[in-house]
Chain A
Amino acid sequence: MEIVLFILFGLLAVAAALNLLFQRHPINSALSLVVVMMSLAVLYWSLGAEFLAAAQVIVYAGAIMVLFIFVVMLLNAGEEERTHGSKIAYIVGIPGAGAIFCLLSFAFLSERSQLGSTTLGGYLSSAVSNITEISHILFTSLLLPFEVTSLLILVAILGAVVLARKEL
């Protein structure tokens, strides 16, 4: 059951990420990024993180991607021109990304038995739900960082308004 969910949405996420890489129009890339985020939300849910699955859909697929698509439409961004770009990016960057992937998957596969496997659904003690546990920690021991993030968001809103003004 869970492996079917994992294979289905894992392949969907990888296919949409590759589509982001190969599409030339920013709107197509943005829509494939929405597909990646929705499939990741399903994977979060199957890992027992219901709150994060909901937050992923609302914050990432909802708010951030709408912002991206608004900017693409506002700036009337067309297809990107096919330039040669940076040679170093092709010569060093792409093999470097492949090497990072090989290193990471080698490390994960060699530690595979220690890492264990997953069980579908809630994984904390069954009496406490995932959201209860997160909110308990967030509002008691991590209250100060939580309040600081609200300040961060306020500063980000002000910064965005100031930067996007007509006369800078």
Chain B
Amino acid sequence: MITVPIAYYLILAAILFCIGIAAFLIKRNVITIFMSIELMLNAVNLTFVAFAHMWRQVSGQIFVFFVMVVAAAEAAVGLAIIIALFRARQTLNVDEVDLLRN
């Protein structure tokens, strides 16, 4: 039976996190930018679970539980802000939301 080194799980999490960073920077749609934040949170959760497995402790899993709760709250408030933004500006493109720049 071949086991998987913990380092591989951590590298998978690093790949997902960096794809999340790239999507956050490249995407112009505010909903998709929000989704890439969720992707980065998921990558960090995978790191927590891998380290929890490595140390044989549940503390890492409890951390992930709290991250999930905070992510759910953040998604609800963030999407409400996106709806309010769309009502005010009639656009989802972040390039056109530049009121603070001028």
Contacts and interface: CB of A to CB of B under 8 A. Distances in A.
Nearest to A156: B73
Contact of B58 (A18, A85, A124, A152): A124
A96 B61 CA distance: 29
Contacts of A137: 58-59, 62
A153 B70 CA distance: 8
B9 A47 contact: yes
Nearest to B1: A1
Contact of B76 (A10, A17, A160): A160
Contact of A93 (B21, B50, B65, B93): B21
Interface of B: 1-12, 14-23, 25-29, 31-32, 34-36, 38-39, 42, 45-46, 49-50, 52-54, 56, 58-59, 61-62, 64-66, 68-77, 79-84, 86-87, 92-93, 95
Contacts of B92: 75, 77, 80
A26 B31 contact: yes
Interface residues of A, number: 87
Given A85-B95, A94-B22, A157 B76 contact: yes
A153 to B, nearest CB: 6
A96 B21 CA distance: 9
Contact of A71 (B5, B10, B54, B82): B82
7 contacts: A17-B23, A64-B71, A67-B75, A90-B26, A117-B3, A123-B53, A134-B61
A74 interface: yes
B91 to A, nearest CB: 10
A47 B16 contact: no
A51 B11 contact: no
